[in-house]
A and B are shown apart, each in its own frame.
Chain A
C-alpha cells in the first residue's frame, strides 16, 4: 500500500515505480490501484491518434507548451510498438518532448505495446489512473501510429483527436471506417503541404454524411503546422470547448458510465482468465485438453463448456 500513499503525497518516484509494476503485471500493482481509484476521474484525458509520421509527437509537445502557459499540469503517455520478433522496443516519442522533461508540472511516460493490438498498451488505462491520482489536469495519450482499426483509445479518452496530413494518397478512402468515426476533433497537420484544402473538403463531406441530427457535437477540423507551433492554441481551445459541451449536455456522465462498464468487464475478464489459466496449467489439464483436441477425441467447444460448468454450475 506504501506506493499509493506516497503517490497521493506527490512522490514522483513512487508513481513511476507503480507504472512499472502495472506494466510488468505485478499482483501488488492491483492493490495500489485499489487505493488510488477513489482519487481518479478528475483529469481530462485526450487521445492523439493517427498514422505513423503525421506528427503526433510534435503536436503533443506543442500542446504541452500551450497548456503549461495556461498553468495546467500535464501528463503524457507515449505509446510505441514492441517488436513482434524480439519482444524489445525502442521508445522514441520523447525525443520531441524533451524540453518539458525538467518541468515539474509535466510527467512523461513512454509505454511499449507489449503485443497488445488496438493502438495502446494494455497498461495504458491504469497508467492514466496513476497520472490522474497524481493530480494532472490534462493527460495526453499518444497512440502508436495506427492505420484503420486501432481505436482502443476511445475507451480511455474523453476527447479523441485524429491527426491527418495531406498527400497520403487517396486520403479519406483509406481511413473512412474506424479511425474517422472516433474523432471528436480532427487535425490536418503539415497544412502547408499541397493537398490540405482538398483533404479538408473531403473530410468535411465525410463528417457531414456521418452526422446525425441528434448529435450535440460536430467534430471541428483544425489546421496546424506543429513544427512551427501554428494552430496549436486554437486546437487546445477546441479541446476545452469539447470538454465543456460534454459536461453541459450530460454526455460526460453517459461516457463515464459506458467506460466504467467497459473497464469492469475487461478487468473481470482478465482476472478470471488469469485465475483459470493458473489452475488449468497447474494440474496439467490444459495439456490434456490440447492433446484431446489434436487427436480429435474431443472438441474444444464441449471442453470449454465443461470447464465453465465446473466453476459456474
Chain B
C-alpha cells in the first residue's frame, strides 16, 4: 500500500494581508511531497476550522502578523475540538513574541515557529508529529 500523503491547511486568520510567509511555507511543504490547501488571507477561525474538517487535513498551519494570535490561534483549536477535529495538529507562525509562546502552547497549539526558522525544521516537525499520531 502506498504511504499516506500528508495533507496540510495553510491559513491566515485575522486582518493582516501579509501572505508572503504563508506562501513560502506552502511551497516548501509542497516540495516536501505534502498536499497543501491554501485558503488565502483574512480567514475567520470558523472558516479555518470548517475547512480543516472538510479537507481532512492532518495539520493546520496558521500565519498571523497582526498581533492577534493570542485570540485567533486558541479559537481555531477550540473550534476544531468542537467539530470533532481534536486529532488535527495546529501549529503557528508569524510575528509572535517569545512570552506568548507558552500561552499558545497551553491553549493547544503544538508549536510556534518564529521568523528565521528554516523550512526544513518545519517540515521535520510536521513529519514527526504526523507519524507519531498515526
Majority secondary structure, A binding face:
mixed
Q: How far is the CA of A123 from the CA of B1 in the complex (A)?
A: 15
- Interface status of A101 (Cβ within 8 A of chain B): yes
B56 touches A19 (CB 8 A): yes
B129 within 8 A of A: no
Q: Which of B33-60 contact A (CB under 8 A)?
A: 33-40, 43-44, 46-47, 50-51, 53-56
> A27 — nearest CB in chain B belongs to which residue?
B1
Cβ contact within 8 Å between A20 and B36: no
For residue A25, CB closer than 8 A to chain B, the reply is: yes
Q: Is the CB of B1 within 8 A of A101?
A: no
Q: Which of A45-93 contact B (CB under 8 A)?
A: 82-83, 86-92
**B56 adjacent to A16 (CB under 8 Å):** yes
Task: Give bound CA distance, A90 to B39, whole Å.
Answer: 10
For A112, the chain B residues whose CB sits under 8 A away are 35
**How many A residues, CB 8 Å from partner?**
31
How many A-B contacts at CB < 8 Å in the complex? Answer: 88
A98 within 8 A of B: yes
**Would you list 25 pairs from A and B whose C-beta atoms are within 8 A, ordered by A residue?**
A12-B53, A13-B83, A13-B84, A16-B55, A16-B56, A19-B56, A86-B32, A87-B5, A88-B30, A88-B34, A88-B35, A89-B35, A90-B30, A90-B36, A91-B35, A91-B36, A92-B40, A98-B43, A101-B50, A101-B51, A102-B44, A102-B47, A107-B54, A108-B54, A110-B55
A234 at the interface (CB under 8 A from B): no
Instruction: Known pairs A12-B53, A94-B55, A110-B37; list 12 more (Cβ under 8 Å).
Output: A13-B53, A16-B56, A17-B56, A20-B7, A24-B2, A86-B33, A88-B30, A94-B37, A95-B40, A98-B47, A110-B55, A114-B5
Q: Is the CB of A109 within 8 A of B36?
A: no
Q: Is B76 interfacial (CB-CB < 8 Å)?
A: no
A102 touches B30 (CB 8 A): no
Q: Does A265 contact B (CB under 8 A)?
A: no
Q: Which residues of B contact A114 (CB under 8 A)?
A: 5
| CB-defined contacts of A109 to chain B, threshold 8 Å | 54-56
Interface: A294 (CB within 8 A): no
Which of B26, B36, B54 has the largest count of A CB atoms less than 10 A from its CB? Answer: B54
Q: Which residues of A contact B50 (CB under 8 A)?
A: 101-102
**In chain A, residues 138-170, which have Cβ atoms closer than 8 Å to a Cβ of chain B?**
none
